[in-house]
Structure formats: C-alpha cells, structure tokens
C-alpha cells in the first residue's frame, strides 16, 4: 500500500454550476480522505505559479483568465495510490474523450471548462499542494466504513 496525498481543484465552472458536492462525493465514495479543503478566488500570481509549466504556450493567458474568473475549491486528498486513483476518476482532459462515469465525462463541457484539475505526479502534487496548503492545514483522522 502506497499512501499518497494529492491536490484537486474544482475549477470555476464546477463551482458556479454547483458541482462541488458531487465532485467531492465521488472521491469520498472511492475511499479517499479529504485532509484539507478551502474555497478561494485565485489571484493572478497564484494562478501563474500553478500553471508555470504552460507559460509561453498559446493558451496560457486564457487559462490564467479562466482560473481567476470565479471562486475555486481546492482539496488535498489522501489514500492508497491517490494520484492514479484520482486521475482515473476525473478522466481525460477533453470531456469528449472522457468515459461516462468519470467527472469530466459526466460534467465537463470543454477542454478548459472540464470541472476539475488534479495533480498528475508525486512531484506535481507536492508542488501544487504547497501553493494552497501548509502542514498546519492538514487534518489527521481515521475514516470509518
């Protein structure tokens, strides 16, 4: 068993369309623990840190504008192989390619408005989590059921 911690972001379209509870429910139903959670309106500087890997790409400014356009919900999830489990639950970036039953397949509209962002590796999870949470933000508890 490999216990991992990863980041998910319910993007602006997921928040304004009322999908925060549905998104979090899917992860909890799979047995992942929410160990940190907050809602915020991302500042440009935070968005630039989050999407630094895309700087210079043609879609960068649109991405920054979108992620700062409305509130987001960020959560740290913890569980056995959490990163790969989360990636499977969310589906591919393009909702048209995502299987029914995945978050993006069921709820996503476009490549940008696809409801959710999730870390794709241990390194990216550590980096992205550090943008939103410090060690004092994580809550330890045992899940039942």
Q: Which residues are catalytic?
A: 117
Nearest to 35 by CA among 142, 110, 139: 139
How many residues are there in the chain?
145
- The alpha helices in the chain, defined as continuous H runs, are 12-16, 20-29, 44-50, 60-67, 82-90, 103-107, 122-132
Residues 139 and 133: their CA atoms lie apart, in Å, by 11
């Amino acid at each position: 068993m490999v216990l991992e911690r990863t980041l998910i972001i319910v993007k602006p379209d997921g928040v304004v369309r009322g999908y925060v509870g549905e998104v979090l429910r899917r992860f909890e139903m799979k047995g992942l623990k929410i160990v940190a959670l907050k809602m915020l309106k991302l500042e440009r500087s935070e968005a630039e840190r989050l999407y630094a890997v895309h700087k210079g790409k043609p879609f960068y400014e649109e991405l920054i504008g979108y992620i700062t356009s409305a509130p987001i919900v960020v959560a740290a999830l913890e569980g056995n192989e959490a990163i790969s489990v989360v990636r499977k639950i969310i589906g591919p970036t393009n909702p048209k390619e995502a299987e029914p039953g995945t978050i993006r397949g069921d709820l996503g509209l476009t490549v940008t408005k696809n409801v959710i962002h999730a870390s794709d590796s241990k390194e990216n999870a550590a980096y992205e989590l550090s943008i939103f949470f410090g060690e004092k933000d994580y809550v330890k508890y045992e899940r039942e059921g």
